Structure 1
Amino acid sequence: MNTLRVVCHQLAPRIADVEHNRALSAEAIRGAAALGAQVVVLPELMQSGYVFNDRHEALAVSEDLDGPTLTLWKALASELGIIVVAGFCERLDAGRLANSAALIEPDGRLTVYRKAHLWGREKLIFTPGNEPPPLVETAVGRIAMMICYDLELPEWVRLAALAGADLLCAPVNWPDGPRPADERPAEIVRVQANAAVNRMFIAACDRHGEERGVNWVGGSVIVDADGYPLAGAVSHQKEQRLVADLPLAQARDKFISEHNHVHQDRRPVLY
C-alpha cells in the first residue's frame, strides 16, 4: 500500500455567508489538489459558519444533499481527482437540521455523517445523528468520518477503528479555552491518544477567525498510527495548510509488541 497525501486546510468561514464560504472552500480544494493531495479535509460547518444566534438562522442557510455547496464539492472532486471531506449545515425533513460532514469521492459517490454527540448550544439547533461513523472503502484506503466533539468519546472512535479505518477524518471547530501555561490544547492530546490506542491515522481540521465572540484553538493536526503528530498539533489561530504523507499500511498492523495487539487484547466482557 502506497502513501496517502492528506491536506487539512484551516480556514475562517463566515457565519451565514454561504457564498463566501463556498468560494473559500473551492480555493482550498484546488490548492490541496495542486499539492498532490488525494484527500482534503476542511473544518466543521465549513459551508455555514458555526455560532448561530438561533435555529431559525441556521435553517435559513441550511442545504440539502442536492444544494449548491455539495454540488460544487462534487464537481471539484471529479475535476481534480480528490476526495473532499468537509462540514455543512444539512436540512433534513420536517424543518430539522443536522451538523453534517460529507465525504465525496472523485466518482461522485457521496457519504454523509451526521454528528451524534452535540456540543453546547448545538443541542438547541441540531438533531443528533443516530448512525455510527461510516467507513468508506475508497480507491486510496479505508476512510472513516466523525465531527469535533465525537472525538472525545473514545467508544465512538473505537467503532471506526474496529470497522477497519486506516484514516479517520474529522472536521472540527474547537472553541479556545483556558489552559495551563505551556500546555498544548487538550483537544490535540485526545486526538493523539485516540490514534495511538487504535493504531489509526487521524486528520482533524480546525478553523480560525473570531466569530461572535468565540475564538478557536486553531489546532488542526495530522497524527500517525503511533499517535505522533506529522503536521500541526499547536494552537495556531491563523490560516494554515497542513500536508502529510501517510503510510497507511501501518494502520493495518495493530501489534505494539510481539505479544500485544491493540484490539485483540481488549476484554470487553470485563468492561
Structure 2
Amino acid sequence: MTENEGARGADGSSRSGVSGIRAIALSPEIVLGDVDGNLARIRDAVSAAARRQAQLIVLPELATSGYVFADRDEALHASIAADDTRWAAVQEVIPEDAVVVVGYAERAGERLFNTAAVLTRIARLADYRKSHLWGAETLMFDRGPEAGLVVDTSFGRLGVALCYDNEFPEVPRRLALAGADVLALPVNWPLVPRPEGEHAPELIQAMAAARSSRLPVVIADRWGSERGVDWTDGTAIIDEQGWIVAFRAVMGATAVLSLAAVREKSLPPHNHLFDDRRAELY
C-alpha cells in the first residue's frame, strides 16, 4: 500500500468500544545505514513490548535507516520498499490486536519518502509519507501528499504524523477533527539550546497540541548522537490533558491512555472543545 488506499474511514465516524489502551514508545539503538541490523533491533524491541501487553507500539522516525545522510544517494542505499520481505520478521512478533508505527526511508521507484509504516501482525494498514520536510530532508526526500493521516485499528482511530509535521498546529487539530483517538509521532529531534530545567521546545509544542485537541501523543525519539548531531532523547507519552505521563524509560515509555476521556469533547458545564470554535473568524 503506497498511497494509503483504504487506510482510514473518510467520515471519521468509526469508533471502537475500547475505553483505554496500553501504549509504549520505544527507542532501540539505530545505526546509520545498517538496515538489517536496525530491523533486527526493532524486532527485538517490539518483541519485548509484546511481553508487556502493549497495544500501540511507536518507534522513531527513520528507525530502519538512521537519519543524518550525506546525500540522497546514501539515503537511497539505506531505503527499503513497503513490500520488502524483511518486514515480515517484524510483523510476526507484533501481538495480536496490537499496532506498530515505525519510521523508515521508503523507496518507491525513483522516489524516496520519509515514511511511517503502520503494521499489525497480519496486515499493513498504511504508509504515511511525511509532508513537512525539515532542513536537509528537503534534499533527500520527496514530499508526501497528506498532512498526517488517520487509520482505523482494533482499538480505535490512530492518527499518524512525523516529527516536523507536529510543529504545524493545523496537523494535530486536523487529525483530531477527523476522529483520531491518539497520535503516534515518530521523531528525530536534534538537541537545541534551552533554559535550564525546561523541556525541549518540540515537546512543549506536543503538550500544547495534545491539550488543545484532547489528543494524546505517543512520541518515540532518538538518543545518543549520529554524525555529530546530538538527539534530544525526548521519548514521551502525553495524555489528552497535555501532561507528560511517561518519559525516557530505559525499556520504553509506557502509559495507559483513556480513550473514553479523549472522546468526551464536552467541557462542562457550558463548553465543547470543537463546537466552540469560531472558524468563520479565523
TM-score normalised by structure 2 residue count: 0.90
Aligned-residue Cα RMSD (Å) equals: 1.5
Q: How many Å separate the matches in 2 of 1:45 and 1:211?
A: 13
Counting aligned pairs with the same residue, the percent is 41
Query: What residue is the counterpart of 2:11 in the other structure?
Result: none
In structure 2, stretches of 5+ residues that fail to align are 1-17
Query: What residue is the counterpart of 1:155 in the other structure?
Result: 170
Query: What residue is the counterpart of 1:39 in the other structure?
Result: 56
Are positions 1:243 and 2:243 aligned together? Answer: no
Q: How many Å separate the matches in 2 of 1:110 and 1:135?
A: 10
Change (3 A) 1:239 1:16: farther
Of 172, 189, 197, the residue aligned with 1:182 is 197
Are positions 1:55 and 2:66 aligned together? Answer: no
Aligned to 2:37, the other structure's residue is in SS state helix
Q: How many Å separate the matches in 2 of 1:73 and 1:110?
A: 14
Deviation at 1:73, TM superposition (A): 2.6
Please tell me whether the aligned partners of residues 47 and 69 of structure 1 are also in contact (alpha carbons under 8 angstroms): no
CA deviations on 1:82-136 (whole Å, 9 max, x unpaired) are 311000000022x220000011123313211000000100000000101232211
Are positions 1:84 and 2:97 aligned together? Answer: no
Deviation at 1:49, TM superposition (A): 0.4
Runs of 4+ in structure 1 displaced over 3 angstroms? none
Q: Which amino acid aligns with 1:245?
A: V
Q: How many Å separate the matches in 2 of 1:69 and 1:157?
A: 31
Q: How many Å separate the matches in 1 of 2:86 and 2:105?
A: 10
Query: What residue is the counterpart of 2:114 in the other structure?
Result: 99
Q: Which amino acid aligns with 1:92?
A: A
Please tell me whether the aligned partners of residues 135 and 160 of structure 1 are also in contact (alpha carbons under 8 angstroms): yes
Q: How many Å separate the matches in 2 of 1:186 and 1:211?
A: 21
Q: How many Å separate the matches in 2 of 1:211 and 1:221?
A: 21
Please tell me whether the aligned partners of residues 33 and 66 of structure 2 are also in contact (alpha carbons under 8 angstroms): yes
Of 210, 215, 218, the residue aligned with 1:203 is 218
Are positions 1:146 and 2:157 aligned together? Answer: no
Query: What residue is the counterpart of 1:132 in the other structure?
Result: 147
Q: How many Å separate the matches in 1 of 2:222 and 2:250?
A: 8
Query: What residue is the counterpart of 1:115 in the other structure?
Result: 130
Of 183, 194, 203, the residue aligned with 1:168 is 183
Q: How many Å separate the matches in 1 of 2:272 and 2:19?
A: 23
Deviation at 1:168, TM superposition (A): 0.5
Aligned to 1:76, the other structure's residue is in SS state coil
In structure 1, stretches of 5+ residues that fail to align are none
Please tell me whether the aligned partners of residues 170 and 205 of structure 1 are also in contact (alpha carbons under 8 angstroms): yes
Q: How many Å separate the matches in 1 of 2:273 and 2:256?
A: 23
Relative to total residues, which structure has the larger helix share, 1 or 2?
1
Please tell me whether the aligned partners of residues 50 and 93 of structure 2 are also in contact (alpha carbons under 8 angstroms): no
Are positions 1:254 and 2:265 aligned together? Answer: yes
Q: How many Å separate the matches in 2 of 1:27 and 1:73?
A: 8
Q: How many Å separate the matches in 2 of 1:184 and 1:141?
A: 30
Q: How many Å separate the matches in 2 of 1:69 and 1:209?
A: 26
Please tell me whether the aligned partners of residues 130 and 147 of structure 2 are also in contact (alpha carbons under 8 angstroms): no
Query: What residue is the counterpart of 2:277 in the other structure?
Result: 266
